[in-house]
Amino acid sequence: MDLNLTANEKKFRDEFRTWLNVNVPPAWRGAITSENRVDHVAYLRKWQRTLFDGGWAGISWPKEYGGRGAALMEQAIFQEELALADAPHLIGTIGLSLVGPTIIALGTPKQKQRYLPPILSGDEIWCQGFSEPNAGSDLAAVGTKAIRDSDDFIVNGQKIWTSFADIAKYCLLLVRTDFEAPKHKGITCLLVDMNTPGISVRPLRQMTGDAGFNEVFFSNVRVPVTNVLGQINNGWTTAITALMNERANLGTGIQVLFKRNLNALIARTRAMGRSGNPLVRQKLAQAYLELEILRLNTNRALTSLSKSGVPGAEGSIQKLYWSEMNQRTQQIAQEILGPYGQLTDFDDGLWQYAFLRSRGNTIEAGTSEIQRNIIAERVLGLPRGN
C-alpha cells in the first residue's frame, strides 16, 4: 500500500481540517456515569448533527443516502483528522459502522431510503440485539423466537449486553424463525422499532458506574415481515456481514478515542513533572508506537477492503489488536499516575473510568479467544480446533 496522500486526498484533508478548526466543540472530559449519561449523550448527538450538517457524516457511504461517496482512504483521513483535532467520537457508531453498511449491502431499496439518512444525522440511534444469556460466542445458538403470523413476526425472548438499547430508536435483532433447521440455518435478522409495544429495556450498570448496556425483553412484539434484513432463515449471512463490518470499522473509529486519551496522558504526565523519568518515557513511547501500528494496520485493512468491496476476516486482527492494546495503555496510565489514577475526583475520574472500561474491550464485538480462532482458521488456514 502507498501511504503518501494523493493531491485529491490532501485537498480532502485540508478542507476537513479547516472545517474542524471552526466547529470542534470544547471536549467532554472525565468519566461517564449513570448520573451524567443523559448530558453526555445529548452532547454527542449534537456533535454528530454538526458533522452531518457540515456534510461530514458517512464519508464512504454512497451520496444517494446522504454520504459523501468518498474512497475508503478518505474515511481513514477523516478519522485521523478527528483525532488530531481532539474532536468527540460519534454516538451513532453502531448505526454508522455496523447497521448502515449492512443495510447498504443487503437492504431493499425501501429499507435503504428509510433507515440510512437518520443514521448519518444521529437522529436515530441503533442498537445491536445479538447476544443472549445462552448465546454469546456461540451466536448461532440464539433462542429468541419469531413466529410468523400473517404479515408480521411475533417475537418473544431476551437479549443481553445490548449497548445503547436505552437510547436507541431501532434494533438490529437476531431471532430464530426455523426450529427444525440446523442452528445456522434457522435464523432471521429483523429491523425492530424499539418503541413497539412489548419491548422493555433494563439497564445494567457496569463496574465503571455507567449503564452502557442493557437487558432487553420481548413479549409478543409484532414486527412486520417487510422489516426482515436479508432473507428469512438466512439471517446468519446478515449477522456475519454486520459483524465483519463492526470489526473492520470499529477499529477506525475507536482510534479517535485512543489518540485523545494518550494525548491527555502525555499532558498529565508533563503537568505532574514525571515526563523526565526514563522509565515513564519508555512506557509512553511504547503506547505511542502501538497506536501508530493500529493506525497503519487500519489503513492496510481499508486498502484491502477497497479492493475486495467487503470486509474480510482480517478485521479480527484489528479487533484483537486494539482491544489488547488499550488494556496495555490503561495499565501504563495507572503505573504512571500511581494512586491518582484511581481517584474519581482526579481529572474527573477519567483514568479510573478508562482503565475499568478497557476490561470489556476484549469481550465486546467477540472475545479475544474467538478472534484468535477466526484468525487461525480463516486468515492462516489452520485446521479447526476441538
- Is 236 a binding residue for ligand FAD by CB under 6 A? The answer is no
Burial class (CB in 10 A: 0-12, 13-18, 19+), 366: buried
Cell numbers 468519566: residue? 31
Phi-psi region of 17 (alpha: psi -120 to 50; beta: other; left: phi over 0): alpha
Would you say 107 or 129 has its CB closer to ligand FAD?
Answer: 129
Is beta strand 126-129 parallel, antiparallel or unpaired with respect to 199-204? unpaired
Any bridge partners for residue 240, and if so which? Answer: none
By beta-carbon proximity to ligand FAD, the closer residue of 66 and 212 is 212
Q: Which residues contact 177 (CB under 8 A, 6 or more apart)?
A: 146, 147, 148, 153, 186, 187, 188, 232, 233, 235
Q: Is 130 in the site for ligand FAD (CB under 6 A)?
A: yes
Smaller CB separation from ligand FAD, 13 or 169: 169
Residues 272, 261: Cα–Cα separation, whole Å: 16
Is 178 a binding residue for ligand FAD by CB under 6 A? The answer is: no
Least Å from the CB of residue 270 to ligand FAD: 31
Selected range binding ligand FAD among 41-49, 279-287, 333-341, 361-369, rule: CB under 6 A: 361-369
* Residue 360 found at the interface with ligand FAD (CB under 6 A): yes
Strands 170-176 and 126-129: parallel
Secondary element (H or E) of residue 223: strand 213-224
Work out which of 137, 219, 282, 308 binds ligand FAD, going by CB under 6 A.
137
Per the residue annotation, which of 80, 246, 290, 314 is the catalytic one? 246
Q: Does 369 bind ligand FAD (CB under 6 A)?
A: yes
Tell me whether residue 335 or residue 369 sits nearer to ligand FAD (CB atom).
369
Binding flag, residue 355, ligand FAD (CB under 6 A): no
Least separation in angstroms between residue 49's CB and ligand FAD is 22
Find out whether 157 and 143 touch, Cβ atoms under 8 Å: yes
Q: Which range, of 24-32, 129-137, 282-290, 376-384, touches ligand FAD by CB under 6 A?
A: 129-137
246 is catalytic: yes
Closest CA to 129 of 42, 30, 229, 62: 229
User: What string of DSSP letters covers 108-121?
Assistant: -HHHHHHHHHHHHH
Choose between 247 and 259: whose C-beta lies nearer to ligand FAD.
Answer: 247
* Residue 322 interacts with ligand FAD (CB under 6 A): yes or no: no
For ligand FAD, which residue of 211, 367, 376, 377 counts as binding (CB under 6 A)?
A: 367
As annotated, the active-site residues are 246
Give residues in contact with ligand FAD (CB under 6 A).
127-131, 136-137, 161-163, 213, 360, 363-364, 366-367, 369-370, 373
